[in-house]
Every structure is written in structure tokens, then in C-alpha cells.
Amino acid sequence: MPNAPEPNAPSGPADAAGPRAAGRVSAVRGAVLDVVFETGPLPPVEDALWIVREDGSRVAAEVEAHLGATTLRALSLASTAGLRRGERVEARGGPLDVPVGDAVLGRLVDVGGTAHDGGPPLDTGAPRRPIHRQAPPLAALRGSTDIFTTGIKAIDLLAPLAQGGKAAMFGGAGVGKTVLVMELIHAMVERYQGISVFAGVGERSREGHEMLSDMRASNVLARTVLVYGQMNEPPGARWRVPLTALTIAEYFRDEKHQNVLLMIDNVFRFVQAGAEVSASLGRMPSRVGYQPTLASEVAALQERIVSVGDAAVTAVEAVYVPADDFTDPAVTTIAAHVDSMVVLSRAMAAEGMYPAIDPIASSSVLLDPLVVGAEHAAVATEVRRLIEHHRELQDVIALLGVEELGAGDRVLVQRARRLQRFLTQPFAVTEAFSGLPGRSVAIADTVAGCKAILAGECDDWEERSLYMVGTLEEAREKERASNVAGAAAVRAPGGPA
């Protein structure tokens, strides 16, 4: 349709601004464009450009480097298919800006703020904010030690999340990162009354449709904004999607004074897109082929996720771990910025221990007696000690059998196995596959259940009674039902002697 903006093209009141610097495309190399400006000074780095096609449609781009007095290099935020040398370029007069506020609630938008959910176009009168801005100064930040309850036993006990903090879910392919993020969204529908912003970085279109359908079914879409940069979009779009989502979150925090839950899936794809951009711009690669600006790019994103004044931005981020290598530069760089690390284990997933949260590798700065209380901290420490002791003995058990252990070690191993099973629980988002209704468990019930297992109250229980349950009381009912069924089988004619 003539004069219709391309997806990702900025639109709004700024379109009617006065004359801007103008130029022409001199080279097109994939998503990288060289532009020669005929009039006006060169736009600054990170300013937005419009490439105007012959039919009047526009493609958004961003200035990345100045090559000379009249030439710059830009990165397209949309497909460059069909672009030719000589296409007209107009300076935006500032960074890419996106619509924010109530107008985007309940909508699915792209990196430029264009709606793609089949609904009406966004209100052109909606306030707009640039996606590039400085992080708040250190003096303005507000620390918080309030626990962000998730209802997931392994997280609340061993890696509690902070209200206004940053938590990351680290794991390789197929160990349950996205399922865990989805369950967190589902679990927080009842107890969390703020605004949710979801950033899908390099997401598959199937995942986007599933997320949109789930949120509509859960009646939480009205308080949620979905910002997507799909896998098939250019690296520039995937690279800037988290900044668009963060800009929307910052508006609700600063202007509306509302708490915001920011979910990013997946931060590794943000780093990956930055590496693609860096290579396209001809920069020398750094460690393991990553961009030399890896640390500064991650910091520019993470340092904006903070609490200011009376409102907080709480971030839950999924992080893909390539080849299960937790020493990967991208993983270690991201881990340096988070308060809580939830590490997913492939070995636990293979054993059916879902969620496959590694109790030893997972950690949180909030797991301190002064924050969570002495009892919680002591129980968490003892749970870790017992499971770690069990892992140390696994080689011996595999070679000689558990019967060769001393009496004391046998008791500890049995309790560790029961603890591992008690820390599993069914999720609401997997109910269609598992057939088990989801469970959300209060922190007090989780601590009480683990404390009872550590004290030996469940030593004579069957391990399966503790598997995939919520509270210990539910496990007790399961054990009682198992005993009744066993006794009935013994009494039945032809039953075991």
C-alpha cells in the first residue's frame, strides 16, 4: 500500500518535524548501509535514519559510525531486500523513539513500536520515548531486600529473587528455561498487580503465538506489553528489542510510579545479535569470536534495570548457555550483573527432576540470615550440604552399591534423595503434558517441608511420595494413600504373602 510505513519504521508526531539533514544510500551490504549526506551536518551515532523507498515506504536504520566528513555507516532495523544505491535518506533528528504508556498495554509490538497483533494501529497521540538513555545515577538508586515470592520451591528456598533486582535463568538447550519463565508469569498473575513487559529476543514465531494465546487465556494481557524481535529479522532489530522493552518499563516506573516485571527471553540472543552487528561493521572479534564491546553492551542494558524512587523494575532473564559451557564469556559477563542465579542442570533434567534447578550452582545475594531469616538460611545451607555430600558419594555408589556405605552415610544419601524429589513440583504451564495440576508453594511451607526431611521425619517414606508434589502435607497424604493401597493388596485373595 503506498505511503504505508514498513514494520519497524518509527512513526508519530515527530514525522511532522522540520527539515532534517538528507542524504543518499551509497552502498548496501546486507543490513549495513553507507550513506552520503548532501546537506546538513552528519547525524550523531545512535541517531535514527529513514531510508525512503520510491513507493514512499520507509525503512528505519541507526547510525553506527562516521566514515568521513560527509559519509556514515548505518545499521538497518528492517529487511533491506530491494534497497538500491541512491535511495533517499532522512535524518530522524534523534534516537529511535517508541510509543509508551497505556496505549501499548495488551499489545504485541516490534522494535520500532509498530503493533503486530492484528489489532488496530497504536494511537498516534501516545507519548514516545527514545530507546537510548543513560542509566540513573547511583545516588538515585533504591536498594531493596524484599523477597519476590515465586511459589517455586527450589527458587524460593535456594535462590530467592529480590523485588527490584535482577534474576537470570542459566541453562543449555532444552533444559526448561522458557518453561520456567512462563511458569513465573503464570505464578505471578494472582499475587503481582504491577505491569509486565516481555521482551522476546530472537524468538520463534511459534513461541510468540503461544505466549500471546496463554496471556489472553489467563486474562493478564491487559497489564502486559509484548515486545518481539523474531529470529528472521535482521540482527539490528534483535539487538535493540531489549532496549525498546526497557524504555516502556522505565516509563511506567518513572512517570506512572508503578512496579514493573521485565522478562527477557533470551539475553544470549541479544549478545549474539550484537556479535553479528559487530562482524558486519568489520570490527575485530574478541574472545571466542564475541564482539570487543561485549562487556559495555551488556552493562548498558543491565545498568538501566534498577529501582528508582517508590517504583521498581524487577527483571527475570533467561540465558542460553552454549554447549553447557558456563565459562563462556557471554555467560560470565551476564552473570556479573544479576542478584540471583538459577542454574538449570542437564543431568537433573535427564533424571526427570523438574524444574531441573541445580541446588549447588544456584545462588542469590538475598540468601542471608539478615534478609530471609536464620531458619530459612540454615535450612538452605543444610539442604545444599546434604545434596553435595550425596554427589561426592555417587561414584562409590555406582561402583559398589549403597549397601557398602556406612550407616550414617546411607541415612544422609536417603535424605538427600528425598530432598531432591521434594524440590520438584508440577507446573501449571505443563499441565497439558504431565496431567498434573500446577502447584504454588509458600516459602514457609517449603522451609518447613525441607526441615522435616532433614530431621528424619520422612526416612521411612517411599521416595515417590515426595516426587512432584507441593507441600509436605500433600506428600504425607500421598504416602498414606500408598500405604492403604499396599495393605489392601496384601489382604486381597491371591495377594502377596
Q: Strand pairing partners for 130?
A: 97
| Residue 263 to residue 339: CA distance in whole angstroms | 15
Residue 252, number of CB atoms within 10 A of its CB? 23
153 included as an active-site residue: no
Q: At what angle do helices 205-217 and 177-191 cross, to 10 degrees?
A: 20
CA distances from 131 to 230, 234, 237, 390 (A): 18, 18, 12, 49
| Residue 154 to residue 355: CA distance in whole angstroms | 8
Residue 49 φ then ψ, to 5°: -125, 155
Q: Strand pairing partners for 263?
A: 198, 316
Sheet holding 313-320, edge to edge: 108-109, 224-230, 195-203, 260-265, 313-320, 166-171, 340-343, 363-364
Q: Cell numbers at residue 391, please?
A: 554427589
| Residue 337 to residue 335: CA distance in whole angstroms | 5
CB 355 within 8 A of CB 425: yes
Burial of 395 (0-12, 13-18, 19+ CB in 10 A): exposed
Residue among 62, 87, 90, 203 flagged as catalytic: 203
Taken in order 214, 198, 140, 149, the sign of the CA dihedral is positive
Looking at 305-365, which runs of residues are DSSP E strands? 313-320, 340-343, 363-364
Q: Cell numbers at residue 370, please?
A: 539478615
| Residue 115 to residue 105: CA distance in whole angstroms | 11
| Residue 257 to residue 34: CA distance in whole angstroms | 42
Q: How far is CA 458 from the centre of its chain?
A: 36
142 included as an active-site residue: no
204 included as an active-site residue: yes
Residue among 92, 129, 153, 177 flagged as catalytic: 177
Residue among 29, 84, 133, 204 flagged as catalytic: 204
SS3 content of the chain, % helix, strand, coil (to 5): 40, 20, 40
Q: How far is CA 376 from the centre of its chain?
A: 26
Q: Which residues are catalytic?
A: 177, 203-204
